[in-house]
């Protein structure tokens, strides 16, 4: 198996140094470029593994420091590309001889770090490599009854939705009807039977077992804490298997106490760009064609977590189709016309987020909040909620849930 791994990886690389591009601007120091050229040369020679790993780690360490020298938006893309090259060189060093399964798993994690923190290089070569590696990692060997060990939860307590506050529901409206009656007047609506054809809902539903089989060994960012406005909120990187064990099934031996008291949420992550196998299970809603851009201008995010995850009341600068695949969510919407009653945070960082705890408001601090009209719903599997641009929305998972959002203009 080991020899075949390197054979497949080498076949996915350029045939020689001459066809292996390393083109950077003067922003990248000559010294680090020289180390990358040395790493490139080592790909096509019999250099010792220790030397290959050392050079790759130097590239990673230097570029990692550059990635963490300020806010993410100000990170120069050149250094993100350097980081991706460092990941590529490390993956090759780990696999060039006789990789153990631990080496292969480390190589997969390295690819994911490049996909998460770096920038695309050589026609997205890291995506090619991680697909090769995934096929050679043996299947999950946990006991077949592991999933049955999940904590038995009571049925979710579903809020009673008042008829006069309910977001309207509609089955497969025409594009013209949706545009005239909801998109242009900026009215929320739940679209039914519009994603029933998704493989994620019928061909191979997104059970925990299925998600493990497709992406269990992949590294993803997880929000730790019930909501991002809490002081103790943080983010961690872990494999999807670790996330499921620790925060969905809550039977991780290493962090059992933490899992019981703290919520973990794989939230607002472009999982489908990182793992195209899952992207094949969903489809872009037809109504997105009414937007100004093309398909590439639609931002698709994953939202996967246990019961109790909360997205505080906030607004977004684009339209949103929120498609529910697994579980149920309670959602409340407020018009941007009532923003003055919703008490946005004064800080620039959280100006699009309300200070109010929607289901437990402090009426003394926020007296006008109770006067703000709203609409609400329980979103169920197969439902798609249209949230118009800048409409405030509050979301709480009633049970284990997987949602997909489509942001478009």
* Residue 215 located in a structural domain: no
b/e sequence 111-146, b meaning 16+ C-beta within 10 Å: bbbbbebbbbbbeebbbbbbebbbebeeeeeeeeee
- Does residue 262 form part of some domain? no
pLDDT of 155: 64
Q: Are residues 184 and 107 in the same domain?
A: no
Instruction: For residues 129 and 173, state if they share a domain.
Output: no
Domain count for the chain: 2
Would 386 be classed as within a structural domain?
Answer: yes
Structure tokens at 251: 């039977």
Tell me if 315 is assigned to some domain.
Answer: yes
**Helix residue ranges, H only, 44-76:** 49-67
pLDDT interval class at 71 (50, 70, 90): confident
In angstroms, rounded to a whole number, what is the distance separating the alpha carbons of residues 392 and 352? 9
Residue 76: what pLDDT?
A: 94
Domain check: are 130 and 187 in the same one? no
Are 375 and 294 in the same domain?
Answer: yes
Tell me whether residue 258 is in a domain. no
pTM for the full predicted model: 0.90
Asked if 330 and 396 touch (Cβ cutoff 8 Å), the reply is: yes
Do 311 and 173 share a structural domain?
yes
What pLDDT, on a 0 to 100 scale, did the predictor assign at position 148? 42
Which positions ≥6 away from 51 have C-beta within 8 Å? Answer: 42
pLDDT, tens digit, for every residue of 126-147? 999 999 999 888 554 444 444 5
Average pLDDT, the chain: 91
Evaluate the CA torsion angle 246, 251, 256, 259 in order and state its sign.
positive
Q: What is the pLDDT of residue 138?
A: 55
Write down the pLDDT at residue 1.
Answer: 45
For residue 356, the 8-state DSSP code is S
In a shared domain, residues 107 and 178: no
Residue 196 lies in a domain: yes
Domain identity same for 104 and 197: no
Residue 218 lies in a domain: no
Which residues form the domain of 44?
2-136
Mean pLDDT of 205-227: 94
From start to end of 142-186, where are the E strands? 169-171
Is position 233 within any domain?
no
CATH code for position 174: 2.60.120.650
**Domain end point (choices 101, 136, 171):** 136
Distance CA 112, CA 126 (A): 8
Within this chain, do residues 281 and 200 fall inside the same structural domain, yes or no? yes
Task: Measure the CA–CA gap between 335 and 323, rounded to whole angstroms.
Answer: 21
Return d(Cα 133, Cα 135) in angstroms, integer: 5
Considering the domain architecture, whether residues 120 and 198 belong to the same structural domain is answered as no
Q: Domain check: are 71 and 202 in the same one?
A: no
Same domain, yes or no, for 88 and 128? yes
pLDDT for 343 equals 98
pLDDT confidence of residue 142 = 47
* Mean pLDDT of the region 295-319: 95
Calpha distance 176→290 (Å, rounded): 9
Residues 118 and 171 in one domain: no
**Do the Cβ atoms of 314 and 279 come closer than 8 Å?**
no
166-204 pLDDT tens trace: 999 999 999 999 999 999 999 999 999 999 999 999 999
């Amino acid at each position: 198996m080991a020899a075949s791994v390197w054979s497949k990886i080498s076949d996915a690389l350029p045939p020689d140094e001459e066809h292996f591009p390393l083109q950077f601007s003067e922003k990248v120091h000559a010294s680090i470029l020289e180390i990358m050229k040395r790493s490139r040369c080592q790909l096509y020679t019999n250099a010792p593994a220790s030397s290959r790993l050392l050079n790759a780690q130097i590239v990673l360490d230097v570029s990692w420091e550059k990635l963490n020298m300020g806010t993410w938006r100000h990170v120069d893309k050149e250094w993100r590309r350097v980081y991706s090259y460092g990941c590529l060189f490390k993956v090759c060093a780990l696999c060039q001889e006789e990789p153990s399964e631990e080496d292969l798993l480390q190589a997969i994690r390295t690819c994911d770090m490049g996909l998460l923190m770096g920038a695309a290089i050589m026609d997205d070569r890291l995506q090619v490599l991680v697909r090769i590696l995934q096929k050679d990692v043996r299947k999950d060997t946990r006991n077949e009854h592991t999933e049955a060990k999940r904590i038995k939860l009571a049925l979710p307590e579903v809020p009673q939705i008042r008829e006069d506050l309910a977001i309207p529901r509609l089955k497969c409206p025409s594009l013209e009807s949706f545009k005239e009656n909801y998109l242009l007047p900026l009215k929320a609506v739940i679209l039914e039977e519009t994603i029933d054809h998704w493989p994620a809902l019928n061909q191979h539903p997104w059970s925990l077992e299925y998600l493990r089989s497709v992406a269990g060994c992949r590294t993803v960012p997880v929000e730790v804490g019930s909501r991002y406005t809490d002081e103790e909120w943080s983010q961690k990187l872990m494999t999807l298997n670790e996330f499921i064990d620790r925060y969905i099934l809550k039977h991780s031996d290493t962090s059992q106490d933490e899992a019981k008291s703290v919520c973990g949420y794989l939230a607002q992550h472009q999982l489908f760009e990182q793992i195209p196998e899952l992207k094949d299970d969903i489809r872009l809603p037809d109504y997105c064609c009414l937007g100004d851009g093309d398909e590439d201008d639609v931002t698709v995010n994953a939202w996967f977590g246990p019961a109790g995850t909360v997205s505080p009341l906030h607004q977004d600068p684009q339209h949103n189709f929120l498609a529910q695949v697994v579980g149920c969510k309670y959602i409340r919407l407020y018009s941007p016309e009532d923003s003055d009653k919703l008490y946005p945070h004064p800080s620039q960082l959280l100006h699009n987020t309300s200070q109010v705890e929607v289901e437990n408001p402090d009426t003394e601090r926020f007296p006008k909040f109770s006067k703000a009209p709203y609409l609400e719903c329980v979103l169920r599997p197969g439902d798609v909620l249209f949230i118009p641009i800048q409409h405030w929305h509050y979301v709480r998972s009633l049970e284990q849930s997987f949602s997909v959002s489509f942001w478009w203009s």
